[in-house]
Structure 1
Amino acid sequence: MRLLPSLLAVAVGSSFAIQANEAESSVERITVQGDFRQQSVQQLSGSIAVVSEQDVKRTSAQHLDDLLNQFANVNFTAGASRGRYIQVRGIGERSEFVDTINPSVGILIDGIEYSGLGISGISDLAQLEVFRGPEATRFGANALAGMVNLTTKGPTATPEGKFSTTLANYDSRQLAGQFSNSLNEQVGYSLALEQQYSDGFIDNAYLNRDDTNNIDEFTGRFKLRYQPLDTLALQLITHFVDQDNGYDAFSLDRNRTTLSDEPGQDQIRSKAVALQADYSGLPFATVLAQLSWLTADSDYGFDEDWSYAGIHPDEYSTTDRYLRNRDQLTLDYRFISTPEGKLGNSDWAFGLYAANKSFDLTRQFWNWDLWQADSFVSALNRTNAALYGELSIPLNTHWTLVSGLRLERYDDEYSDSSGNAIENHDTMWGAKLSLNYQVNQQALVYLLASRGYKAGGVNGDALSKAADGNLTELLSKASFKPETLYNAELGVKGSALDQSITARVAAFYMWRDDMQVKGWLNPDSGPQFAGFIDNAGSGRNYGIEMENRLQLNPQLAVSLSASWLKTKLGNYITLEGDDFSGREQAQAPRFQYSLAADWYITDALLFNISLQGKDAFYYSDGHNAQSERYELLGARLSYQLNNWELALWTRNALDQDIGVRGFYFGNDPRDGYEPHVYEQFAEPRRFGVTASYQF
């Protein structure tokens, strides 16, 4: 732990280097969009990482998967064509099969909730923020461990546009365009379109194809801003995503060559509309409101045996398919105090939140008890209502006490084709208390305590298997309880006036109560599995994370983010009798780091290089299979000529096999179904060229 004092010293030392207070207002600052008030990241308590459009270009990122490795204490899993589930500080889901789960780490795009759906298209990214630690006051039940908040580009006062095209190996192509303008002083608009295609990184030897795990995604976003009054601004946001990806990722030979005769699919078609209002006509507060609606249909399926008919006399040959429909309507109504509306000298925020979400599932699978094709249908309707508020009390010119509270109620109505009809409900609360010492506008020391929560739910898969009469032990797992997370955090943020040094460090200790873990029951070691969510007694997660940037000279800048994490499962014994009490939690690597350098060789020629590393981690809380430690090397060389830019790039230049999902069981009849660690791998070595024109 000697590292902590030295890091704090760097941050505090850089902050005290600031001398010219009268010049501070002229310094460009990163403004956090996801907070109640748009504040500089250096003035906001909590561990927040921010990525801009320039950061995306540095790594030639084309998807959220390509960005997440540069964040300290952030991990993700795939289990589909894309990484869809995010873990922060070792906490987060890894999959969603039969049972609907409340995500521990949510995803917002322009204020619309996409948790569990992932992100398609980041070419129009304006800013991406990763909140680490419980953020219940701001975001509610979907931010037990953190929140990913993405803001896309919007209307502009003058015409602005960008068009880009990318060609890469594995027959990969990307075409993207954005344009924004104003019709007059009151009306502005923006439009962003993107199409991505790739054969994917799998060879199917049985079908003699290399595109069974392909990527085929279209994303469209449109914004219309209207300001009828000086005190009122309205914005209409529309999103459309058409994802028609293949899914053929797991190999019996545990490599990138599959034998599936019925490769699966990972299709999502979603539409979303949001209406935002910003009203400043009240003397005491600004009113921010958003009404949003989203509908998504998904078709996710795979070849369950990962092989073909005739591979072995002891084979089985089945598929598993999940057809989902999701509809959600949310309302967030927020009052933010103005200088005239302060309580004494204290700023405040107060909000109302309401949501109605429905999740309908049809699963088509092989019923091993009936020895025939079967289906399972379930419906979950969830309503949420919440009150929340935050109060910021200045104690003197440097010290501020910030407190926040959120009360949230959820009511579930669940039914399924097995005859189950269950109603669940609970009232949950989250809070924060932060003592901030603002050295000046660019340096902050804070001590934070926060409480987060996530909703419980119904184990529909366990109930349906128990109804079949063979797995009656699953009756004890009919439902699972909400989880609570307590967080204590000490953080330091500092930057030099000229931004030549920026440092952010946070040390934290988190206690998980009624920790939700994924459990599996496989009583006969055959192909039949029953999945369910279980509650372990408790869990502990503690560690440190930092982000630093150093401008060595006008031509060279170096960035470093790193984290160290220690986790521990509480009392957890599976239904099969395996005792994992005290073991490290899943998806929680001990260390992560990201080192990057930007070198302006000339005014027009820029070279970027990055190295990311991650320690091994367990794939699940229910078995001991682990990933391999790895390093990712990337580079980019770009040339700017007037409005044109040409870039040559590579990702995973060392061509390492990076596991993004892992299971441990037997699935190969050729060796008598001996258990193995089966992994889905991220992209191999990539290289390509990108040309763009911006005006």
Structure 2
Amino acid sequence: MFATQSPLPRLMIMITAIIIFSFAPQYSLAEETAPPPKTSEKSIRLAPVTVSANKVKEDAQKTPVSMTVFEAGTIDDLPNSDSIEGLTQLVPNVGFQSIGSHYNEFNYRGIGGVTTMSKTWNISVDGLTLPYVGLDTLFDTERIEFLRGGQGALYGRNTPGGMINLVTKDPTPQLESELQASYGSFNTMKYFGEVSGPITDKTESRLALQYAHTDGFIDNTFLDNDRADEDEQFTGRFKIIHRPSDDTTIKLSLFGDTYNGKNGGWVNVAGGPTLDSTSNDLGKDDGYLGSLNMQVEHTFDFATLTSITGYSRSNYSIVNDMDATSANIFLLDYKDDFSTLTEEIRLASPDQDARFRWLAGLFFLYENTDYDTDMLYNIPTAFGIYSSEGHSKSTINTTSGAIFGRASYDILPRLTATAGLRVDVEQRTFDWDDQINTNNSLEKTKTWTPVLPNASLTYEVVDNHRIYASVSRGYRSGDFTANEIDYATLEEGYVVNPEYTWTYELGYKSTLFDNRVRFNAAVFHIDWTDMQVATVSNGLQIRQNAGEAHSDGFEANLNWLVLEGLELFAQGGFLNAEFDEYENNANAEGKHIPNSNEFSIGAGVIYSHASGLFASFDATRLGTKYLDSENEIKQAPYTMLNAKVGYKAEDWSLSLYGRNLGDERYIVRAFEAMPGMRPGYMGAPMNFGVEVSAYF
């Protein structure tokens, strides 16, 4: 419905009307003389939400960024919140697409919807971006922030449309522990345990462990195996905090994760959504991560110093029947290995309520990545079977440095101007070798220097009602086609330059009715240049800077504390993201950017009774999503229904959950391999489970 005209003017009228409507009760209430509340009357208010989106702690309602935030208590109460994927159903204009049991790519307002095998990392855990596909579980989480809009001025590469900021739980000053077990459909089980407490009067620690297993929901009828996407995962985190003085805090976090399973979740969706697979190879889906995160924070009289040192080593390995049929046509064997060292040092003004607030920092990254791609072809032709194999190994070494800063100034008591800037220098060296024809090799080095400004103006019209306007530039890092297996194709398009975006946003943030209602909304327009796309040249797929695109949309979040223990929430997002130019693929021009729902509208309720009984329910209607650039593969709108009910005592709890209660069949990811052959990845069907916890 947005194909011929940008909805931005219409949406701006909508949000203006909403703002005026929201202000009206405030003015009318101010004119009345209401009797003072009785001293015995209990105040019912939404608790303030503190976020670290701008790398300092601040009130989410005062931050000129469109975001959706989930805190620990809400995450525990929601029925489908044990994974980031589940929470995206409640976040407007943020989508996901799965490639395997753990590999989820996220897109923000359409950005990230055009995918290739080259991964884009935009999930930060405790201030550290981890290059790992398995960050799909909300493991011992304190808060998760879904940020929408360009974040490049503070976070740098690969955040042109937004990012996910995940904050894990800190150790506690008192001894506490928890054990949890759950069991559900498809023989899905999960066991979790944590213990936290003091070591000395200045040192606290926390250990959390989790094991998960599932038989999966795909039935391979060709191999007579109903566990085609079986998987298990083990995760652990140890965090220690030491405070040698009142001015200094040292945090050390060790994180480990490993998963292994089959990769038989791909099915042929040429005839529509299905949970039956006919693949002749169940494949494998394995990965691991080990990481260290050390943070030091010291408060001087003039500034707060923060140092974040991170090291991670991760591996991803899959074998995938790419044709998803019983024929032996395409078989992919792929591995990558990341070793990443980062250091960030920043200074920030100590008083975030001062009239002038600032932050300045330096960033360094060194990363080594090894790729191993092996592809077998057995393609039927009129003359018989054409068989071929391509096998390459490659390495990319990346050295990057950046300087960044941000400053805010209260021009007037209610008017604040903010400006930020980041300058990156990134050098990448590419070394590629053909493992079949050893005479073919390629070595290249490229350097890019992106400049990423942002600016915003925030005005508090009346108390607790703010409007803001912002503009930001973001970029997706330049890259090499490291997983290419054909030398001739590689020579033609071995490098893609950075992709740049400009995001223009108008937002509104408010709290209403004595802080019982929180309503936030935004309209936006995004322009892409040098868009990185996958295109076809001379019958072969290559990556190149061949695209330009735009995205317009609207999004809103509402929270309403109706009564003590009863909270309603709602969200809505509308998106029109289209290709303006797509070189060598004219069929894609003017089409919707894939893997992005045209709309999402949802609402839910969380209820907790004083007796310990609790219940939650949410429903989200997700609009049309095209799964390819030519818009020939389409997932029609569908509705997700989830519910949870249980009882919480002082030292134990018991709950039942149901997910996808309408048993919708929906495709998450798909592509056209050849006529009649559309490999696709399905979303989970209706499933139920029971969860029990004990607290000590």
Calculate the TM-score normalised by the size of structure 1.
0.90
CA displacement, residues 341-394 of structure 1 (integer Å, 9 cap, x when unaligned): 98xx52111000010111101112226699455521010011111000011111
In the alignment, which of 549, 560, 563 is matched to residue 553 of structure 1? 563
Deviations 1:386-421 (A, max 9, x none): 000011111011111100000001101001113111
Residues 291/16 of structure 1: CA separation in 2 closer, same or farther (3 Å cut): farther
Which amino acid letter does the alignment assign opposite residue 284 of structure 1? F
| Alpha-carbon distance in structure 2 between the residues aligned to 1:252 and 1:367 | 18
Q: CA deviation at 1:655?
A: 0.5
The CA distance in 1 between the partners of 2:322 and 2:293, in whole Å, is: 39
- SS of the residue aligned with 2:174? coil
Q: Which residue of 1 aligns with 2:367?
A: 357
- Is contact 1:18–1:496 with CA below 8 Å preserved after alignment? no
Does the 8 A contact of 1:121 with 1:219 survive in 2?
no
Question: What is the rounded CA distance, in whole Å, between the counterparts of 2:120 and 2:478 in structure 1?
Answer: 7
The one-letter code matched in structure 2 to 1:31 is T
Q: Structure 1 196/404 Cα, relative in aligned 2: closer, same or farther at 3 Å? A: same
> Kindly tell me: are residues 551 and 623 of structure 1, through their superposed partners in 2, closer, same or farther at Cα, counting changes over 3 Å?
closer
Q: Equivalent residues in 2 for 1:530-609 (5 A)?
A: 530-574=540-584, 577-600=585-608, 603-609=611-617
Match of 1:65 in 2: 85
Q: How far apart, in 1, do the equivalents of 2:536 and 2:615 lie?
A: 48
The one-letter amino acid of 1:330's match is: T
* Structure-1 residue corresponding to 2:75: 56
The 1:167/1:225 distance shift into structure 2, 3 A limit, reads same
- Quote the Cα distance in structure 2 between the aligned partners of 1:37 and 1:602: 36
Please give the root-mean-square deviation of Cα atoms over the aligned residues, in Å. Answer: 2.5
Asked if 1:77 corresponds to 2:89, the answer is: no
Kept in 2, the 8 Å contact 1:12–1:493? The answer is no
Match of 1:432, as an amino acid? N
- What secondary structure, in the 3-state scheme, does the structure 2 residue paired with 1:247 have? coil
Q: Is the 8 A contact 1:520 1:622 kept in 2?
A: no
Q: What is the aligned partner in structure 2 of residue 229 from structure 1?
A: 245
2:494 counterpart residue number: 478
Distance 1:34 1:382, change over 3 A: same
Asked whether 1:298 is paired with 2:316, we answer yes
**Cα 1:608–1:13, aligned 2, differ >3 Å: closer, same or farther?**
farther
Deviation per CA, 1:293-325: give whole Å up to 9, x if none.
0001121121234344xxxxxx54452111111
Query: Do the aligned partners of residues 587 and 372 (structure 1) sit closer, same or farther apart at CA in structure 2, a change above 3 Å counting?
Result: closer
Query: Take 2:131 and 2:123, find their aligned partners in 1: how far apart are those partners?
Result: 5
Q: Structure 1 residues 289-298 or 78-87, which shifts more?
A: 78-87
2:280 to 238, 241, 261: 261
Native 8 Å contact 1:278 1:289 kept in 2? yes
Aligned pair partner of 1:3 in 6, 14, 20 = 14
5+ residue gaps, structure 1: 309-314, 524-529, 667-673
Partners of 2:445 and 2:206 in 1: CA distance: 43
User: Does the alignment pair 1:655 with 2:663?
Assistant: yes
Identity, % of aligned positions: 21
Would you say the 8 A contact 2:394–2:430 is kept in 1?
yes
CA distance in 1, matches of 2:131, 2:664: 29
Structure-1 residue corresponding to 2:195 = 179
1:213-612 paired onto structure 2 within 5 Å? 213-252=229-268, 255-280=274-299, 282-308=300-326, 315-339=327-351, 345-366=355-376, 371=387, 373-417=389-433, 418-439=440-461, 442-461=464-483, 464-467=485-488, 475-496=491-512, 498-520=514-536, 523=539, 530-574=540-584, 577-600=585-608, 603-612=611-620
* Cα distance in 2 for residues equivalent to 1:340 and 1:676: 57
Q: What SS does the corresponding residue of 1:72 show, helix, strand or coil?
A: coil
CA distance in 2, matches of 1:499, 1:341: 21
Paired with 2:457 and 2:325, the residues of 1 have a C-alpha distance of 58
Within 1, Cα distance between the matches of 2:204 and 2:67? 31
Q: Is 1:209 equivalent to 2:230 in the alignment?
A: no
Conserved in 2, the CA contact under 8 Å of 1:11 and 1:505? no
Distance 1:18 1:172, change over 3 A: farther
Contact kept, 8 Å, 1:120 with 1:219, in 2: the verdict is no
Greater Cα offset, 266-275 or 157-166: 157-166
8 Å CA contact retained: 1:518, 1:532: yes
Following the alignment from structure 1 to structure 2, what is the Cα–Cα distance between the partners of residues 27 and 599?
14
CA contact (8 A) 1:284 1:341 kept: no
Paired amino acid for 1:154 = D
1:5 partner SS: helix
Aligned to 2:673, which of 642, 665, 685?
Answer: 665
Letter matched to residue 268 of structure 2: L
Amino acid at match of 2:275: R
Distance, in Å, in 2 between the alignment partners of 1:267 and 1:445 is: 47
User: 1:430–1:452: 8 Å Cα contact kept in structure 2?
Assistant: yes
Give me the whole-angstrom Cα distance separating, in 1, the residues matched to 2:687 and 2:377. 41
The structure-2 alpha-carbon separation of the partners of 1:684 and 1:101, relative to structure 1 and needing over 3 Å to count, comes to closer
**Contact preservation (8 Å) 2:80, 2:87:** no
Distance 2:465 2:176 in 1: 35
User: What is the Cα deviation at residue 33 of structure 1?
Assistant: 2.3
SS in 2 for 1:684: coil
- The question of whether the paired residues in 1 share the 8 Å contact of 2:558 and 2:570 is answered with yes
Structure 1 CA distance, aligned partners of 2:358 and 2:25?
31
Contact 1:10/1:503 (<8 A) preserved: no
Counterpart secondary structure, 1:508: strand
- 2:645 aligned residue: 637
Cα distance in 1 between the residues matched to 2:608 and 2:128: 38
Structure 2: how far apart are the matches of 1:139 and 1:389?
11
1:152 Cα deviation from its structure 2 partner = 0.9
- Give a deviation string over 1:95-129, Cα, whole Å, max 9, x none: 553xx3445xx001122213552414324111000
Rate the CA distance shift 1:14–1:592 in 2: closer, same or farther, 3 A.
farther
Q: Which amino acid in structure 2 is aligned with residue 516 of structure 1?
A: Q
Determine if contact 2:58/2:352 at 8 Å carries over to the other structure.
no
Shift of residue 132 of structure 1? 0.3
Task: Check conservation: 1:552, 1:558, Cα contact below 8 A.
Answer: yes
| 1:12/1:405 CA distance change after superposition, 3 Å | farther
CA contact (8 A) 2:572 2:601 kept: yes
Q: Comparing 34-43 with 359-368, which one deviates more in the overlay?
A: 359-368
* Alignment partners' CA distance in 1, 2:89 and 2:577: 20
What is the CA deviation profile of residues 634-681 of structure 1, one whole-angstrom value per residue up to 9, with x for unaligned ones? 111111222211111100001011211011232xxxxxxx34544211
Distance 1:401 1:45 in 2: 10
User: What residue is the counterpart of 1:616 in the other structure?
Assistant: 624
Most deviating of 255-264 and 413-422: 255-264
Structure 1 CA distance for aligned equivalents of residues 280 and 296 of structure 2: 52
Q: How far does residue 247 in structure 1 lie from its aligned partner after superposition?
A: 1.0
Give the SS at the match of 1:597. Answer: strand
